[in-house]
Amino acid sequence: MGALGAATPRDWLRPGLFALVLGASALLGSGTWSPRWFHRLEDLMADLRWRLGPSAGQSAHVAVIEIDEASLDVVGPWPWPREVVAGLAGELFTRHGARVVALDMVFPEPRDAAADAALLTLARRHRMVFSQAFYLTPAAVRTGHPGGALPASAEPSTAAGLAGVPAATGHLGNFFAAAPGDCVGHITPQVDADGVVRRIAPVIGYAGQQYPMLAAAALLCARPGLPAALPWPALAPLMAAAREADGFVPIPWRHASAGFPVFSAVDVLARRVPAQALAGRYVLVGASALGLSDHVVSPHDPRLPGVMAHAEMLDWLLAEAAAPSPRLMLPWLGWAWTIATVLGLAWLSRGGNLLAAYGALTGMAGLWLLVLLGLPPGAAGRAAVLPVVAMLMLLVLQAPAEWALARAQARQFQRRFRRYLPPAVMEAVLRERGYEAMLPMRRTLTVLFADMEGYTALAETMAPERLVKVTEIVLEALTAQIHAAGGTVDKYIGDAVMAFWNAPLDQPDHADRGLACACAILSGMPALNARLQAVCPWLAPVRICIGLHSGDAVVGEIGSPLRKSYTAIGDTVNIASRLQDLCKAVSADLLVGEGTAALAQRHVLEPVGRARLRGRSRAEQIYAVRGRPCPQPFDLSEPAVA
């Protein structure tokens, strides 16, 4: 602990860390600093939102036909003959009354001419939606024919305000050159660095034209005699509102694994699915068999059929068209929560209870996640992740720094106070009260002064080197007894020692501890004199005089900014010192004040006289310990005793 009034490392560490965290949060939230880990954390937060958020239940408008293992076992390995695919689509249109059938598969190469013609004829009769893929990377190929481009009058750049669509470098199209009325949508998801599919481009630009995604194409194409579910002027604004700066839209993973009615393709072909079971629905046909490798990683499932991503987009667009989600934008909320989190931790950390502070910090982060679950997706913007970033930064930076500071301060504390405190007491102070125990405070103490009688005369006749040795032996013996009784050595004053009890640790029996220490010192005098005789054979037996008093005093690190020491000051200290001086006048080795007599429980004290001590306005009752040699009764009420 630093000197009172002087800045300590902890004084600038916490404000510096909090300022650093707020500054880093400002850079991240504004986009000035945009590291990869921040985007990764944004993705994880979005995944958590979809996993923990409420499910939209089962879709009432979209169904999925799976080409699963059972279908491959019966029909044969993929790719199936195209007349089988045409038969499957025909069943969905004619027997089951599907409003739209979209195939999540690409037919890049022509095969049997009759089968190809049959598939294309059926598609154009019922306006079935084909799929195509685009390459968004430099290494691209060009296979088949792209189709389904938006009419020039409906391009996003002119009609819907969706300029800046992702640009493709290659394509994987179908075997036929698309006619103007053909329905084709792209199935090109954006796979993030961790392998999770979170976004898809609503429109991709390629070779001067723009192509919608499969879900949008399914809404734009309608069977003959039916209007489009969503014409482009209604569909484009929905996608524009959700689109991010780079032209992609988040896939709203609103459904769990049972979110869509799913039927096996072989059951449809074998007519085991009841007729009209899919009437009026948008039906997506895709692969789920493991061997076909058409799977994606979603926030819900590490191995989800890829067709489900397009089903989610299609169902979301239908829901938005029916009842648009509130466009609530609260970017300030994440900022406010971050500032409140950092300032709250700063306030809670003042007392040094980091466990409580970090518990509150974790609670704030958890509460923020609940708030995000209650907000519409994207409402908090980029700042949504800032409170979590601030929490992680504080945990990563502050906890090790505080630990290192605590260790350094503990070592400093031990170096500075080992001359005052017994090792066991010092460890207890660190464990129970910490460095606050060293701050000046008012406490009830029992103060002891012990002095070697005749020291001044001894110093006149003894060589300084020998005098130092004698003094060290005496103070060592007195200090050992004080420490054994749990006392704190305040200071050495030549041959005298001052000690006290009940600080820095609480000692309810401090009066009895002081009395026990005084009695132990006096009982050990024969042994002490024997040690002194071994050093100085001609030395007369040493006599120790002790004064003991209990009362209020101020104790702590006291002094000037240049030098401080742990000490006690106050009238109680003065009385104990005067009692020690009085011992010489009345030929006593131990005198006890009224305060100690009032608090003692294990020792019996008896009055031996009265005296008005120097600096006191009234006479004091003086006590001695029963069972020890007592002085003759005395009354020194007048005059004052020096």
pLDDT digits (tens, 9 = 90+) for 6-31: 445 555 566 777 788 888 888 887 77
When comparing pLDDT for 313 and 36, which is higher?
313
Cα-Cα end-to-end distance for the chain: 39
Residue among 259, 220, 268 at smallest CA distance from 99 = 220
User: How far apart are the C-alpha atoms of 593 and 322, rounded to whole Å?
Assistant: 91
pLDDT at 422 over 70: no
Half-sphere exposure of 484 (CA within 13 A, CB side): 14
| 388, part of any domain | yes
Percent share of the chain, pLDDT over 70: 90
> What pLDDT does residue 432 have?
62
| CATH assignment of the domain containing 590 | 3.30.70.1230
Residues 158 and 115 in one domain: yes
pLDDT band at 289 (very low <50, low <70, confident <90, very high): confident
Residues 573 and 480 in one domain: yes
| 530, part of any domain | yes
User: How far apart are the C-alpha atoms of 258 and 545, rounded to whole Å?
Assistant: 91
pLDDT at 460 over 90: no
pLDDT at 615 over 90: no
> What pLDDT does residue 435 have?
62
Report the pLDDT averaged over residues 112-123. 93
| 333, part of any domain | yes
> What pLDDT does residue 278 have?
93
Residues 241 and 182 in one domain: yes
DSSP track, 87-106: HHHHIIIIIT--SEEEE-S-
Residues 476 and 400 in one domain: no
> What pLDDT does residue 430 have?
65
pLDDT at 161 over 50: no
pLDDT at 451 over 80: yes
**Structural domain for 16, as ranges:** 9-34+328-414
Residue among 51, 57, 44, 59 at smallest CA distance from 310 = 59
| 291, part of any domain | no
pLDDT at 479 over 90: yes
pLDDT band at 4 (very low <50, low <70, confident <90, very high): very low
User: How far apart are the C-alpha atoms of 22 and 390, rounded to whole Å?
Assistant: 8
| 426, part of any domain | no
When comparing pLDDT for 271 and 301, which is higher?
271
> What pLDDT does residue 24 have?
84
pLDDT in tens, 216-228: 999 998 777 778 8
Least confident of 241-250, 415-424, 529-538: 415-424
| 338, part of any domain | yes
Please state the domain count of the chain. Answer: 3
Per-residue tokens: 107 = 């037919």
User: How far apart are the C-alpha atoms of 495 and 410, rounded to whole Å?
Assistant: 31
Residue among 289, 279, 269 at smallest CA distance from 66 = 289
| 487, part of any domain | yes
pLDDT at 583 over 90: yes
Radius of gyration of the chain (CA): 44
User: CB of 83 within 8 A of CB of 111?
Assistant: no
Burial of 326 (0-12, 13-18, 19+ CB in 10 A): exposed
Residues 464 and 600 in one domain: yes
Residues 263 and 377 in one domain: no
Residues 591 and 530 in one domain: yes
The contacts of residue 141 (CB under 8 Å, 6+ apart) are 135, 170, 172
Mean model confidence pLDDT for the chain: 85
Residue among 571, 591, 559, 441 at smallest CA distance from 505 = 441
| 296, part of any domain | no
Residues 332 and 306 in one domain: no
| Domain edge (last residue) among 381, 414, 447 | 414
pLDDT in tens, 362-409: 888 888 888 887 777 777 777 888 888 888 887 777 777 767 776 776
Residues 629 and 548 in one domain: yes
Residues 247 and 212 in one domain: yes
Residues 535 and 598 in one domain: yes
User: CB of 500 within 8 A of CB of 507?
Assistant: no
Residues 265 and 159 in one domain: yes
